[in-house]
Chains A and B, each alone.
Chain A
Amino acid sequence: MNNMHNIWKERFLHYVNEVQKYMRFIVTGHIAIVFVFVAGAAGYQYSEWLKVAPASFPAEWLVAAVVGILLAFSRPTTLIREPDQVYLLPLETQMPAYFKKAVKWTFWSQLIIPAVVYIVAIPLLNTVTELSSQQVWLGLAFIIILKYLNVVIEFNYRFANRGQAIAIDRLARGVLSILAIETALTSSIYVAAIYLVLFFAYKMSLQKRTAGQPVPYEHFVRLEQNRMLRFYRFANYFTDVPHLRGTIRHRAWLDSVYKWIPFARKNTQLYLVFRTFIRTDDHFYLWVRLTAIAAIITAFVDIAIVAWIVVAALAFATTLQLKVALLSNSEFRMDMLFPIAPTQRSQAVEKLLRITSVVQAIIVTLCAMMQPYFYVIPVIVIIVSELTLRLSKK
């Protein structure tokens, strides 16, 4: 028992360290600032809308649906690793102690999302429903219990069926969760407790089926790998995750761009950098994503100063992140041996980023045409990009 406890502890510390390492960059990243702006703007719009929200608004159903769907996705975090299939095999009978900790962690770490969504919806419930504040908070307690049951059931379902047809299990739990929350908010919490009994019966039947089954290591390993990969992909938006190799796509429709670079020794790095940018998904989609966010925000926000700040922040983020990504020297490349001026690479990157900032300015301006002072936007994009290029370190 003690043994299992230590294994989990060790795993957990390692996992927390790994997540922390990248969280630092995520929290301090430029996109985080954008998120704060977006959240602030959304909060403002929400509070404005609450003032005029119609009393007939189906708030209970909306809350039940959103939270119910979130509850259905209760993927277990087991921290099982590939070598475990070999090294933990002799400890098979002790594994329940390990998984107990894993389920506990899964519950606590995932609880925050449905809880926050529900808490955000409380002003809405107070405005358009007759619920007393005691009922509203009982609703939260009810959701916490539902979350726990969902986590335990998804774990046991995956254990018993090796993850097969998980969509059916999720659909069933999602529908049940939605109905349960809806009942708790509209009828009484005691009637809703019937749903808890159903959940409990489902849980017991699954737990019976898992008894005596070998640990489905392969399924859990795949689950863990996918989860970490998603995290790394996400972290990669903010910083350079070293072991994450970007996918390459030809994007033949952009081949004509390369014709603008004549065959000459002084253009060697331009030849390379243009292709690297266009064909590496990480670089290309970074630009597409940030440009799209800027375009959408300027298309819908009619307060000029807010649009300007967002556009400036995004132009800064685009230029800085692409510059860092394209000038990174962490891996050996053959062009490091080329008999060309060492400054050629940074000059090529600057030229590329000037072009991408102009294209970004054009796209964002076209989307902002309906808004006041839209003609200031291209000036901001180009000036901010240029300043970022010049003032950021080489």
Chain B
Amino acid sequence: MTILQVSNVTGGYTRKPVIKNLSFTIEKGELVGLIGLNGAGKSTTIKHIIGTLLPQDGEIRLNGVTLKENMDNYRKSFSYIPETPILYDELTLKEHLELTAMAYGLDEKTLKERSDFLLKEFRMEKRLNWFPSHFSKGMRQKVMIMCAFLINPPLYIIDEPFVGLDPLGIQSLLEQMDAKKQEGASILMSTHILSTAEKYCDRIILLHEGRVRAQGTMDDLRAAFNMPNASLDDLYIAMTKEQDNEQHA
């Protein structure tokens, strides 16, 4: 079953498009890596999916609906962890969880069960009544992660998740991602850390200059580049070089 369907999307901040004719899908229970250099269009793609930017052309379907058709259903179907944590300075950790639970229609019992588990998993139980100004970068990231996992959506959109987290935090996040996958959720993760992407992602989308350069499993990619046994790093460098050669030719 397809959870996310991006069809021929062109878009950006201004008239000049950053992403061009982008198409890909994410199936139920899949972990998909969105890989690209700085400026390749990863964040822009994510902004279109979460609906803060609207496509100039093309269509994005999440759980069967577009944002326009059914805003509530669309927004309920995903949770988003931004690259830099975006918190409310005026809310405590506990209030961040409560606010999120309210917005997504969780009852108080479910909130209690899920937040107790997440707080323990991310070792934040003792910081429930703290304000974000007292949190380190990693703790802020953990608040975002906990809010995202609290609502149990069919799709998780995670932008550069590993920056700023300590090794235990990374481990907890990977475990949680795996657990959600087992339960049938899908994950779209953008990252620069290619070794982790290679190890954990079911499929990879290589983004280059706003276009999908290649996509598929590691084996698909190796076949496409005709480089058996290559790592994702090798494939990536080969792709950028190929692009350069094309430009110079």
Which residues of A, 232-248, contact B by the 8 Å Cβ criterion? Answer: 245, 248
Shortest CB-to-CB span from A132 to chain B, Å, is 62
Contact with A along B126-150 (1 / 0, CB 8 A): 0000010100000000000001000
Q: Does B37 contact A (CB under 8 A)?
A: no
Contact B50–A337 (Cβ < 8 Å): yes
**Nearest A residue to B151, CB-CB:** A339
A-B contact pairs, 7 of them (CB 8 A): A248-B131, A271-B102, A275-B88, A275-B91, A338-B104, A339-B75, A339-B105
Q: Does B99 contact A (CB under 8 A)?
A: yes
With contact pairs A248-B131, A272-B88 given, residues A267 and B102 touching in the complex (Cβ less than 8 Å):
yes
How far does the alpha carbon of A272 sit from the alpha carbon of B96 in the complex, in Å?
9
Interface residues on A, range: 20 to 34
Contact with B along A332-346 (1 / 0, CB 8 A): 111111111010000
Q: Does A11 contact B (CB under 8 A)?
A: no
Shortest CB-to-CB span from A331 to chain B, Å, is 9
Contact with A along B79-115 (1 / 0, CB 8 A): 0100000111111000100111011110010000000
Contact A248–B89 (Cβ < 8 Å): yes
Contact with B along A56-83 (1 / 0, CB 8 A): 0000000000000000000000000000
Contact A339–B108 (Cβ < 8 Å): no
Contact A339–B86 (Cβ < 8 Å): no
Partner of B95, one of A275, A337, A342: A275
Contact B76–A339 (Cβ < 8 Å): yes
Contact residues in B for A245 (Cβ distance below 8 Å): 89
**Nearest B residue to A340, CB-CB:** B103
How far does the alpha carbon of A129 sit from the alpha carbon of B247 in the complex, in Å?
89
Contact B103–A335 (Cβ < 8 Å): yes
* Residue picked from A248, A275, A336, A339, most chain B C-beta under 10 Å: A339
The tally of residues in B whose CB lies under 8 Å from a CB in A reads 28
Partner of A250, one of B76, B105, B131, B147: B131
Shortest CB-to-CB span from A260 to chain B, Å, is 15
How far does the alpha carbon of A339 sit from the alpha carbon of B74 in the complex, in Å?
8
Q: Does A268 contact B (CB under 8 A)?
A: yes
Q: Does B246 contact A (CB under 8 A)?
A: no
Q: Does B51 contact A (CB under 8 A)?
A: yes
Partner of B98, one of A271, A338, A342: A271
Q: Does B71 contact A (CB under 8 A)?
A: yes
**Nearest A residue to B79, CB-CB:** A337
With contact pairs A250-B131, A332-B52 given, residues A339 and B89 touching in the complex (Cβ less than 8 Å):
no
Contact residues in B for A279 (Cβ distance below 8 Å): 90
Contact B104–A271 (Cβ < 8 Å): no
Q: Does B72 contact A (CB under 8 A)?
A: yes
How far does the alpha carbon of A139 sit from the alpha carbon of B209 in the complex, in Å?
73
Contact A263–B102 (Cβ < 8 Å): yes
Contact residues in B for A339 (Cβ distance below 8 Å): 71-76, 103-105
Contact B102–A275 (Cβ < 8 Å): no
Q: Does A265 contact B (CB under 8 A)?
A: yes
Contact residues in A for B86 (Cβ distance below 8 Å): 332-334
**Nearest B residue to A335, CB-CB:** B103
Contact residues in A for B131 (Cβ distance below 8 Å): 248, 250
Q: Does A17 contact B (CB under 8 A)?
A: no
Q: Does A276 contact B (CB under 8 A)?
A: yes
Contact residues in B for A263 (Cβ distance below 8 Å): 98, 102, 108
How far does the alpha carbon of A173 sit from the alpha carbon of B158 in the complex, in Å?
62
Contact residues in B for A250 (Cβ distance below 8 Å): 131
Q: Does A280 contact B (CB under 8 A)?
A: yes
Leading 8 A-B pairs by shortest Cβ distance? A339-B75, A338-B103, A279-B90, A339-B76, A268-B103, A268-B102, A265-B105, A339-B72
Contact residues in A for B80 (Cβ distance below 8 Å): 337
* Residue picked from A264, A275, A342, most chain B C-beta under 10 Å: A275
Contact residues in B for A264 (Cβ distance below 8 Å): 102
Contact with B along A163-195 (1 / 0, CB 8 A): 000000000000000000000000000000000
How far does the alpha carbon of A272 sit from the alpha carbon of B131 in the complex, in Å?
14
Which residues of A, 293-348, contact B by the 8 Å Cβ criterion? Answer: 332-340, 342
